[in-house]
Amino acid sequence: MTAPLIDPFQRAINYLRVSVTDRCDFRCVYCMSENMTFLPKKELLTLEELDRMCSTFVGLGVEKLRITGGEPLVRKGIMTFFDAMTQHLDSGALKELTLTTNGSQMERFADDLYAAGVRRVNISLDTLDDKKFADITRWGRLPQVIKGIDAAQKAGLRVKINTVALKGFNEDELFTLLDWCASRDMDLTFIEVMPMGDIGNEDRLDQYWKLSDLRSTLRETYTLTDLPERTGGPARYVRIEETGQKIGFITPLTHNFCESCNRVRLTCTGELYMCLGQEDMADLRAPLRNNPGSDAMLQDAIRAAIALKPKGHDFDYSRQGVDGRVSRHMSHTGG
Residue numbers in the known binding site for S-adenosyl-L-methionine are 30, 70, 124, 194
Give the CA-trace dihedral at 335, 23, 187, 230, to 10 degrees: -30
Task: Report the binding-site residues.
Answer: 17, 24, 28, 30-31, 66, 70, 100, 124, 160, 194, 258, 261, 263-265, 275
46: which DSSP letter?
P
Q: Is 302 exposed, middle or buried (0-12, 13-18, 19+ CB in 10 A)?
A: buried
The CA distance from 123 to 188, in Å, is 10
Q: Give the 3-state secondary structure of 62-99.
A: CCEEEEECCCHHHCCCHHHHHHHHHHHHHHCCCCEEEE
The CA distance from 321 to 138, in Å, is 25
Task: Report the binding-site residues for [4Fe-4S] cluster.
Answer: 24, 28, 31, 258, 261, 275
Check if the beta carbon of residue 89 is closer than 8 Å to that of residue 123.
no
Could you tell me how many helices (H) and strands (E) the chain has, helices first? 11, 14
The CA distance from 54 to 72, in Å, is 15
Cis peptide before 293 (omega within 30 of 0): no
In angstroms, how far apart are the furthest CA atoms of the chain? 61
Q: Is 215 exposed, middle or buried (0-12, 13-18, 19+ CB in 10 A)?
A: middle
196: which DSSP letter?
B
Q: Is 239 exposed, middle or buried (0-12, 13-18, 19+ CB in 10 A)?
A: middle
Q: Residue 330 to residues 21, 42, 49: CA-CA distances in angstroms?
A: 11, 20, 22
